[in-house]
Amino acid sequence: MMNYKTITYERLGETLYEYDHPSGLKAFLVRKPGYNKKTALFATDYGSIDNVFKKSDGQVMRVPDGIAHFLEHKLFEQEDGNMLDKFSRMGSSPNAFTSFNQTAYYFTCTDLFEENFRMLLDYVQNPWLTDENVEKEKGIIGQEIRMYEDSPDWRLFFNLLDCLYVNHPVKVDIAGTLDSIAQINKELLYECYNAFYTPSNMVVVVSGDVDPELVFTTVDSMIKSKDRGKPEKRYPEEPEEVNLTYKEQKLRVSMPLFNMGIKDPVRVSGYELLKRRTALGIILAAIMGRSSELFNRLYYDGLINDSFRFEVSADQSYGFVNWGGQSSDPERVAGEIRREIEATVEKGLDQEVFDRIRKSHEGVFVRTLNSPDVIAREMMDCYFNKTSYFELSRIFEELDLAYTNQILRSLFTKTTVLSVIHPI
């Protein structure tokens, strides 16, 4: 019998199984009895912003932008073939992503879970890098970078981040630049792999109708690497002030695009970070969500359309809120939204509106628990941010109007920046 922990969340009707591997790796299973779909994810707390770090031997490394994303590409290529093909032959759907903070490898399947799971745990622990295949990959990633340079939504977003941030690497494209990837070589990739792909810096999450004994005995037999300790991530000092208040670019679009944002200078982690994210989501929904007076007025005046979205991005080293979409008159919309924010800050959120949106967002959270994919990704993100996705249940119970209004008044009085893409 494996020695694992079982946590029951009565209010949600969910059970979480946790296993601490001797190497320092953490493994989770969210069991979903009766579900056909199974998802397994193997991730490292290493993303595009982690280009300066202190290794466990004390050496400080400074590496080129885009190296985390480059490694993600290379891990799929093994000496005996491409992992995407191998998973597909087993009837599963594999993928991976590099974000600002994490790199994750995962698959979904309905059958042959154990075989797919073993394959996932194996290839992520065994990089195969040669001078030739690294050089070849530069051409592939170079094409990807050029594609993103022509993507209006991508450029809109990174122009916004350039407005918000002076020094923080979150403003740098996840894939890096053509110049930065030209500096990447096999030795640097192995340095970064050995620093960050170490058990105590990684997590395994499984979601679906799978037996805990199977999951954890497989983890136990497959995790071979010795722990080298977590690298110490280093980020430059970031002032509270923004870099720019406005940035525009011309690209091939049929209608102008706009994105507005506010930089959040407050740095928290764990439960407090999850609570802050939740409050910020409620504030944005109250000011500019689909049921708000502002959204409906702008929509019926033809100034925004169904493309309008808002988002909260908050991590331990950076944070911001942003919103936007298509508009025939971005500057006018920006003015209207700024005035609405000022008015909301002055009067505060209304109790009735707060309660309605809080309940609605809690309902969305509960519905995500039907998706093994979402569960795996959110469990991973929360673990690396020192909390648990299931803590959201307690947050929705505890969150009150006073706390939310205090966040509103402290953050939404700060500078709002605007990024615009105009048609050529």
Give me the residues paired with residue 28 across strands. 18, 205
Q: Which of 72, 137, 336, 378 is catalytic?
A: 72
Give pLDDT, residue 198: 95
206 close to 215: Cβ distance less than 8 angstroms: yes
Q: Which residue, chain included where needed, has tokens 């190497």?
A: 23
- DSSP class of residue 169 equals G
Give pLDDT, residue 297: 97
Give SS3 for 314.
strand
Give pLDDT, residue 113: 97
**348 alpha-carbon distance from chain centroid:** 30
pTM as predicted? 0.95
Q: Quick one: tokens of 393?
A: 């249940």
Sheet holding 52-54, edge to edge: 60-62, 52-54, 232-233
Q: Is 72 a catalytic residue?
A: yes
Distances from the Cα of 41 to the Cα of 109, 171, 228, angstroms? 12, 27, 21
Give pLDDT, residue 2: 83
Distance CA 414, CA 263 (A): 8
- 319-326 and 52-54 strand pairing: unpaired
Give pLDDT, residue 229: 87
Q: What is the pLDDT along the chain (424 residues), one digit of tens a residue?
A: 789 999 999 989 999 999 999 999 999 999 999 999 999 999 999 999 999 999 988 999 999 999 999 999 999 999 988 999 999 999 999 999 999 999 999 999 999 999 999 999 999 999 999 999 999 999 999 999 999 999 999 999 999 999 999 999 999 999 999 999 999 999 999 999 999 999 999 999 999 999 999 999 999 999 987 888 899 999 999 999 999 999 999 999 999 999 999 999 999 999 999 999 999 999 999 999 999 999 999 999 999 999 999 999 999 999 999 999 999 999 999 999 999 999 999 999 999 999 999 999 999 999 999 999 999 999 999 999 999 999 999 999 999 999 999 999 999 999 999 999 999 9
